[in-house]
Amino acid sequence: MTRTQVAIVGAGPAGLTLAHLLRRQGVEAVVLERRTRAHVESRLRAGVLEQPTVDLLRELGLAARLDAEAMTHRGVRLRFAGATHRLDLSGLTGGRAITIYGQHELVKDLIAARLADGDPILFEVDEVELSGLDADPVVRYLRHGRRRELRCSIVAGADGFRGVTRGYLPGTVFEQLQPFAWLGILARTAPSSDELVYAAHEDGFALHSMRGPALTRQYVQVPPDVDVAAWPAERIWQTLRRRLGHGDGLDLPVGPILDVTVAAMRAVVTEPMRHGRLFLLGDAAHIVPATGAKGLNLAVADAAALSYAIGAWAGGAPAELDRYSSRCLDRVWRTQRFSVWLSQLTHRLPGEDAVDRRLRETALSELVSCPHTGAAFAERYVGQPLPTPWWWNG
């Protein structure tokens, strides 16, 4: 049996960022993770970092490799009605931008830095059970064949949508499933654009993204019940070329496809995000549609808010813990609204007709031609300030 101040269940971006922020305040934490280190560091997820996320990593001294290897995008391209338009993100937001850096690369950095500091991450933890959440939490788990206990004052549930911690919250779960899914394609090809390309085609949505100078991550709108076997490489490349406008300013080379996955598009919010001494963050508390790549950044915002509340609690101001859920949920619902809106703006919806398509094209045209509409979009896309002051500056 051991003891710590905070037990963090989950070694993804949310849990690891929280651990680093707590260390900055002198708060002890133990991170528990069900998977192996190799598995966690190889999980491919979205790789778009908002400006506040990058600023935070730099402030914590965790951005050395990111600054050396990541790609900064100061604009984004929207394709519709047979033409591609560029939205100047930096020009509309006073110089802010987005950064392309694989989530698995960020996780590698966060794990390496924590272990270098001598702080514990327990991998291969199974059969996690929680008790005493009202006053004196205990985390029981199985590791390397032995039953163990970890006593703590606070439990942070950062173990994802399918993790165990969210099952301990008795609150309300709001969920909405979108009528389409994404076929995700990882290919060994050079990017055809120096910025992301969102395509609203009459056949459906497509996205051209990248993970490096020789690796692309692309997405195609498909039905929720899609059969991956019905999408051989030839069909994938034909669909991407048609929807992204190959030959019209975008040279989309064919290359070996390394991985094909299907991602459901859903909006999920658990409310409140707290039960007793258990606090949820990241995907354990909410899922946003992938359009706009907000999930990782929302997880980091949760970690910032929770670390602020725990730091205040450790300093004798426990009322901040009571404000955590409401502070986060305001941002969560705003992000859900943005991601659902952007999804519906760029995807073909079931039952839509020619009028619906013309209305969508008009909305997209206004987005790229009206400075006020474009600025409002750009502000949301590059990221809103974190939900707490920059207290770690001193």
Q: Is 252 inside a domain boundary?
A: no
Beta strands in 123-162 (DSSP E): 125-131, 138-143, 146-151, 154-157
pLDDT below 50 — which residues of the chain?
A: 390-394
The domain of 166 spans 2-72+102-175+267-351
Q: Are 141 and 150 spatial neighbours (Cβ–Cβ below 8 Å)? A: yes
At 390 the pLDDT is 46
Assess if residue 318 is contained within a domain. Answer: yes
Question: Closest Cα to residue 231, out of 198, 278, 184?
Answer: 184
Please write the tens of the pLDDT for every residue from 110-167: 999 999 999 999 999 999 999 999 989 999 999 999 999 999 999 999 999 999 999 9
Burial of 353 (0-12, 13-18, 19+ CB in 10 A): exposed
Compute and round to an integer the Cα radius of gyration of the chain: 21
What local confidence, expressed as pLDDT, does residue 1 receive? 58
Amino acid at 52: P
Q: In what order do the strands lie in the sheet with 146-151?
A: 2-3, 146-151, 138-143, 125-131
Per the structure, the count of domains in the chain is 1
CA–CA distance, 118 with 146 (Å, rounded to integer): 23
Element (H, E) at 265: strand 257-271
Tokens at 92, concatenated: 């509309």
Cα separation of 292 and 282, whole Å?
16
In a domain, 89, yes or no: no
Q: What are the structure tokens assigned to 186, written together?
A: 């990882």
Q: Is residue 241 part of a domain?
A: no
Nearest to 217 by CA among 100, 347, 385: 100
Q: Which two tokens stand for residue 23?
A: 């260390």
Q: Is residue 224 situated within a structural domain?
A: no
Q: Locate tokens 């809106």: which residue?
A: 341
Report the C-alpha gap between 225 and 223 in whole angstroms.
5
**Is residue 183 in a domain?**
no
16 in a domain, yes or no? yes
Number of residues that this document lists for the chain: 394
Taking the complete model, does pTM exceed 0.85, yes or no? Answer: yes
SS3 50: coil
CATH assignment of the domain containing 67: 3.50.50.60
Q: For residue 245, tell me if it sits in a domain.
A: no
